[in-house]
Amino acid sequence: MASNKNRKPHAIMISLHLQGHIIPFVNLAIKLASKGFSVTFAHLEFVHHQISKSQFNSTDIDIFAQARSSGLDINYTTISDGFAVEFDRSTDLYVEAFLCRFPEKVDELVGKIMQSHSSAGSNFFLVSDTFSVWPAKIAEKYGLVDVSFWTEPALVFSLYYHLQLLRENGHVPVNGRRENVDYLPGIQSINTKDFMSYLQDSELTLLHKLIFQAFDTVKSADFILCNTVQELETEAISALKEKQPFYAIGPLFLGDLKKNPVARSLLPESNCTEWLNSRPAGSVLYVSFGSLAKTDKNVILEIAGGILLSQVNFIWVLRPGMVDSEGGGILPEGFEDRTRDRGLIVPWCTQNQVLMNPATGGFLTHCGWNSIVESIWACVPMICYPLFTDQITNRKLVVDDWKVGINLCDGASLTREEVAENIGVLMSGKRADELRQETKKVRETLQNALTEDGSSEKNFNCFVEDVKDEIERRCEKRI
Ligand code: UDP
């Protein structure tokens, strides 16, 4: 029998169902497998259904087949959340089930995976999204090393992590106050207006409960991986490292995925390349609010008005369901006709391709973390219009700290004149040049982090060794 040391580490990865989490989680699976680990990756059944339907028009698909045929040791499976594929998962009922009943399903699956690979000589460990509430219990039951993956910046992690301290100081819930907080480890100063929406709210929902519980759970994780870059959040990361093993390994979106494509998109993607190729370099504004954010019709009307006034070329992702409208279109009458020669409106696109196209010169974004990192990687400065959750805190990093973007509006309400003015500032002129220069600098930081000697690569290698040592240590203890 192989000694424990020679056994292959085998990551059991159970993905969260949100688009902004699925993408980096899949990328992490590829990265672990390319470092020689075995991986069993589980999507929720409805996620599997949605991705395979939208990408292959069939549900009988192994999403990782291509990655596996290129030599990576990745098994793919699904897990039920107890609801039918078409169930509306934006309800409280779903959050409650996710909190209370889903952990049993995970327990069952983990047991099954471990049993079915027991003869293969695997050393299992658990990799979960930090927003999961079940890892500590499951890891304890099966004696597994517990790895938590945080898909957002370290600043956001740190704010949730220090929730108790913020409460003791009366800064959470924020309740509309604007005060600077300067006592959080590794965070020089942050205004309460920049806290994530879940820390702003005074009325707590089940979702708040889930998030706060997840951050209790993460305190017992053995390792925490974060999709950020050490040089961008040095102090926040150093302070977190004093609490728990914390590794900045981002951005997790390149290289290996090109060789091993894995379908990750929940919606069919419109290809905008041909349209973009016919536009002058840097002339197109890309507008998207990501996969989750909702807004009201007025916001859409003002942005549309601003686009009309600015005369800019644009691609606008208007995701189905992003506006709760009572029937009818959400765009102003005649907008599509008036912008036909300079605009493209799509329900979803291959965002990376759009950002990387030389025609794209600016991104009006909701400040989802993946979108920010992708935009910086493409050297495209941003106009920020955060709507909720971490987007509000991410805006601070983009505009105030790294200076790679501007705010869409300064007050609470949005006017088309302000939108047009800021589009003008972003797309051309002195300020636009400055923003582009700063974006280029931050992009270099990302690029350097990914080189062989770069911080993210070194941190990842260090994690690989540390996780192997920890697995070994536990095996020896058991003997
Ligand atoms: N995305 C995409 N096509 C679109 C809009 C978004 O592929 O039309 C991708 C985008 O590249 C990013 C993810 O969806 O990787 C959204 O994640 P993000 O963290 O930016 O925002 P969220 O959707 O979580 O709010």
Residue 118 has pLDDT above 80, yes or no: no
Judge if the beta carbon of residue 19 lies within 6 A of ligand 1: yes
Residue 256 has pLDDT above 60, yes or no: no
Residue 323 has pLDDT above 70, yes or no: yes
Residue 401 pLDDT level (bands cut at 50, 70, 90):
very high
The secondary structure element, H or E, covering residue 197 is helix 197-200
CB 18 within 8 A of CB 266: no
Give the pLDDT confidence score for residue 154 in this predicted structure: 98
Which two three-digit tokens encode residue 183?
């006592």
Centre of ligand 1 to C-alpha 289, Å, is 8
Q: For 169-187, write each residue's pLDDT tens digit.
A: 999 999 889 999 999 999 9
Residue whose Cα lies nearest atom 9 of ligand 1: it is: 351
* SS3 state of residue 74: strand
Residue 363 pLDDT level (bands cut at 50, 70, 90):
very high
Judge if the beta carbon of residue 251 lies within 6 A of ligand 1: no
Say what angle helices 92-100 and 102-116 make with each other, to 10 degrees.
Answer: 50
Q: For 190-201, write each residue's pLDDT tens digit.
A: 999 999 999 999
Judge if the beta carbon of residue 265 lies within 6 A of ligand 1: yes
Question: Which of 18, 349, 354, 371 gets mutated to test ligand 1 (max ligand atoms within 8 A of its CB)?
Answer: 371
Centre of ligand 1 to C-alpha 19, Å, is 7
Closest atom of ligand 1 relative to the 293 alpha carbon: 25
Comparing CA positions, the residue from 75, 77, 11 lying closest to residue 44 is 77
Residue 1 pLDDT level (bands cut at 50, 70, 90):
very low
Residue whose Cα lies nearest atom 17 of ligand 1: it is: 20
Token pair 């099954």 is found at 112
Judge if the beta carbon of residue 369 lies within 6 A of ligand 1: yes
Residue whose Cα lies nearest atom 2 of ligand 1: it is: 351
Judge if the beta carbon of residue 24 lies within 6 A of ligand 1: no
DSSP string of 152-193, one letter each residue: S-HHHHHHHHTHHHHHHTT-SS-TT---EE--STT---EEGG
Closest atom of ligand 1 relative to the 290 alpha carbon: 23
Task: Tell me the torsion sign for CA atoms 258, 262, 264, 266.
Answer: positive
Q: Is 258 exposed, middle or buried (0-12, 13-18, 19+ CB in 10 A)?
A: exposed
Give the pLDDT confidence score for residue 6 in this predicted structure: 64
Residue 260 has pLDDT above 50, yes or no: yes
Task: Tell me the torsion sign for CA atoms 60, 63, 68, 72.
Answer: negative
Which two three-digit tokens encode residue 384?
């920020």
Residue 5 pLDDT level (bands cut at 50, 70, 90):
low
**Residue 204 DSSP label:** -
Judge if the beta carbon of residue 292 lies within 6 A of ligand 1: yes
Residue 361 pLDDT level (bands cut at 50, 70, 90):
very high
Looking at per-residue pLDDT, the higher value among 261 and 181 belongs to 181
Mean pLDDT (the chain) is 94
Residue 366 has pLDDT above 50, yes or no: yes
Give the pLDDT confidence score for residue 397 in this predicted structure: 98
The secondary structure element, H or E, covering residue 128 is strand 122-129
Residue 103 has pLDDT above 50, yes or no: yes
Residue 148 has pLDDT above 50, yes or no: yes
Give the pLDDT confidence score for residue 58 in this predicted structure: 86
Residue whose Cα lies nearest atom 21 of ligand 1: it is: 368
Domains of the chain with bracketed CATH: 4-264+452-478 (3.40.50.2000), 281-446 (3.40.50.2000)
Centre of ligand 1 to C-alpha 79, Å, is 23
Residue 411 has pLDDT above 80, yes or no: no
Angle of CA points 210, 216, 222, to nearest 5°: 120
Q: For 206-223, write each residue's pLDDT tens digit.
A: 999 999 999 999 999 999
Give the pLDDT confidence score for residue 255 in this predicted structure: 58
- Helical segments of 242-350, H only: 256-259, 273-277, 297-310, 335-339
Helices (H) and strands (E) in the chain, counts: 21, 15
Judge if the beta carbon of residue 363 lies within 6 A of ligand 1: no
- Residues found in the chain: 479
Centre of ligand 1 to C-alpha 322, Å, is 13
Tell me the whole-structure pTM to 2 decimals. 0.96
Centre of ligand 1 to C-alpha 373, Å, is 11
Q: For 438-475, write each residue's pLDDT tens digit.
A: 999 999 999 999 999 999 999 999 999 999 999 999 88
Residue whose Cα lies nearest atom 18 of ligand 1: it is: 368
Comparing CA positions, the residue from 57, 253, 248, 288 lying closest to residue 155 is 248
**ω into 332 cis (within 30 of 0):** no
Judge if the beta carbon of residue 22 lies within 6 A of ligand 1: no
Residue whose Cα lies nearest atom 11 of ligand 1: it is: 351
CB 345 within 8 A of CB 316: yes
* CA pair distance 46, 49, nearest whole angstrom: 5
Judge if the beta carbon of residue 290 lies within 6 A of ligand 1: yes
Judge if the beta carbon of residue 23 lies within 6 A of ligand 1: yes
Q: For 293-302, write each residue's pLDDT tens digit.
A: 999 999 999 9
Looking at per-residue pLDDT, the higher value among 476 and 357 belongs to 357
The secondary structure element, H or E, covering residue 27 is helix 19-34
Collect all residues with Cβ–Cβ distance below 8 Å to 277 and sequence separation of at least 6: 357, 359
Residue 327 pLDDT level (bands cut at 50, 70, 90):
low
Question: Which of 151, 252, 351, 397 gets mutated to test ligand 1 (max ligand atoms within 8 A of its CB)?
Answer: 351
Centre of ligand 1 to C-alpha 290, Å, is 4
Judge if the beta carbon of residue 351 lies within 6 A of ligand 1: yes
